Structure formats: structure tokens, C-alpha cells
Amino acid sequence: MHPEPHAITVPQFTAMKAAGRKITMLTAYDHATAQLVDAAGIEGILVGDSLSMVVQGHSNTLPVTLEEMIYHAEMVGRAVRHALLVVDMPFPSFHLGVYRAIENAGRILKETRCQAVKLEGGVEQAEVIAGLVSAGIPVMAHCGLRPQSVHQLGGYRVQRDETRLLADALAAQQAGAFGIVLECIPAALAVRITAELKIPTIGIGAGTGCDGQILVYHDLLGLTPGRMPRHVKPYAELHRTVIDAVTRYRDDVRQGAFPGAEQTFE
């Protein structure tokens, strides 16, 4: 029998808010990445549906399927030893009624060693969140900018409807969510929502007043060249490092400098 591999449980994650401890979260989509993120002591790892964009190369998060989310979450699940592991429910896996949502989230939990699912929505998804929670499936909600609704929202814009966003956050908490991602909302509103909620708020583009922060791994490391959204702080410029290493390898091979004597068997 396998021992429980995750050190941080859902209740421990939620309790970090009351303890006044800031929560760090990062995405991961494969085994090697998850090992590194986990080793760095991040408290929560999300297999985000952002993999549709940063891994699969789509222009939004809509195309990624439940099967593909499970495929990536399996790899991540085999690596994580410390962090709480959360997997995104892709569009439209939680829009087809409570029964289908439980069926789909149940597959994610059974097949991937994750501990929780995340889904976009608040008031409109309260019934689904409550249904999942009553089935023993921990749910992290995601309010503010909901990328799966990009067409309805008219683009990736900061969301400013204070009444609606507060109602969404409260509805998610009331329905039993153990945490909530707040994406691209004004900092003052995030502070207000964070103060109103007992569950932790995890911000992305929501200022410093949230209980924690989350970023996309590729953005944090500067893996993809090009314009970054304003809320991203690249802590490295790995695309430069990678292009440089690959170019040097290419040149070495062309010039006969690789493999050298050290890499060659007698």
C-alpha cells in the first residue's frame, strides 16, 4: 500500500488563512516540473487548464479535454510529495449538471492522486460546488476573470463588477469551496473579498491583499518569449537560457566539438 504522498491536506491549506500564513501556488503540467516546484516548497500545485495555451499552443483554454487534463495530472501526481494538488475542471466538464460534474471530478480524483478540483464560477456554479462537496470532492472556486468565459467577457479584461464578484465569492464559500482564486480584479476589491471570506483567496492579478498568490509556471520562469500580462513578474528569462544552450549544442555538433573525448567510449 502506498503511504499518503501529500504533506499538505485541504484542511491544512484552508487553516493557513487563520494562521496568517501566506499561501504560494504555481501551475505544473508534467512530472519533471512538478518535482522542481514541489522541492521548492510551494504549498499548492495546480494542473491548470492553462496547459491548453502554454503546453498545447491553443489561443485560449477552451480546447483542452478532460482526458488531456487527466493525462497531465497523472504525471504531476506521481511527482508531488509536499504540496496540495489541485486539478482544473476543463470546459464544459462541470456545466452538464451536478451528476456529470461529480462523474467527471470523480474521474480526476480517482485517476490522478490529486486532492481537489478547481472550477470557474461563483453564484452560477454554487449548486455544482455543493454537489461535489457533498460527494466528498474538495472544490477550489475561481472568480473574477474566468478564462473559460473569454468570449462572453469579450476578452481578457480586469473584472470590476464589485457586487457580482462579492456575491460570487460568498456563494462559492457558502456552497462549500475550501478556497478561491481571484483573477484580474482591482486590488481594493480583492482586499474586501478576502476580509469577508473565511476561506483563503489566491490572487492572480488581484494585488497583494489576497491570502496567497498563484502564477503560471511558464510565466514565472520567462519560458515563453513575448509580451507578458501586467500581473506577471518573470523571475527568470529561461527562454534566453534555453535558446542559448540549444544554439551552442547545434554549433558544437556542426563543428565536431560534440561529442568530445569525455562523452566518448573507448
Catalytically active residues are 183
Which residue, 33 or 265, is less far from ligand KIV as judged by CB?
Answer: 33
x/- string (CB under 6 A) for ligand KIV, residues 68-97? --------------------x---------
Interface segment toward ligand KIV; rule CB under 6 A; list 48-56, 102-110, 225-233, 249-257: 48-56
> d(Cα 76, Cα 163) in Å, to the nearest integer?
37
- Interacting residues with ligand KIV between 130 and 159 (CB under 6 A): 142
Tell me the residue ranges of DSSP E strands in the chain: 23-27, 44-47, 84-88, 116-120, 139-144, 179-183, 201-204, 212-215
Alpha-carbon distance of 209 to 83, in angstroms, equals 22
Selected binder of ligand KIV within 117, 119, 180, 204 (CB under 6 A) = 204
Which span (29-37, 47-55, 224-232, 248-256) binds ligand KIV, by CB under 6 A? 47-55
- Min dist CB 50 to ligand KIV, Å, is 3
CA-based nearest residue to 209, from 229, 237, 188, 236: 188
Given the complex with ligand KIV, which of 38 and 49 has the nearer CB atom? 49
Q: Confirm or reject binding of residue 48 to ligand KIV (CB under 6 A).
A: yes
**Is residue 241 within 8 Å of residue 222, measured between CB atoms?**
no
Under the binding rule (CB under 6 A), the answer on residue 194 touching ligand KIV is: no
Residue 182 touching ligand KIV (CB under 6 A):
no
User: In the chain, what's the furthest Cα-to-Cα distance?
Assistant: 73
Is 181 a binding residue for ligand KIV by CB under 6 A? The answer is yes
Any alpha helices (H) in 125-179, and if so which ranges? 126-134, 150-153, 162-175
Q: Which of 27, 104, 194, 213 lies at the binding interface for ligand KIV (CB under 6 A)? A: 27
- Cα 188 to Cα 94: distance, rounded to the nearest angstrom: 30
Task: Take residue 82 and report the three cell numbers written for it.
Answer: 509536499
* Residues engaged in binding ligand KIV (CB under 6 A): 27, 46, 48-50, 88, 142, 181, 183, 204, 214, 216
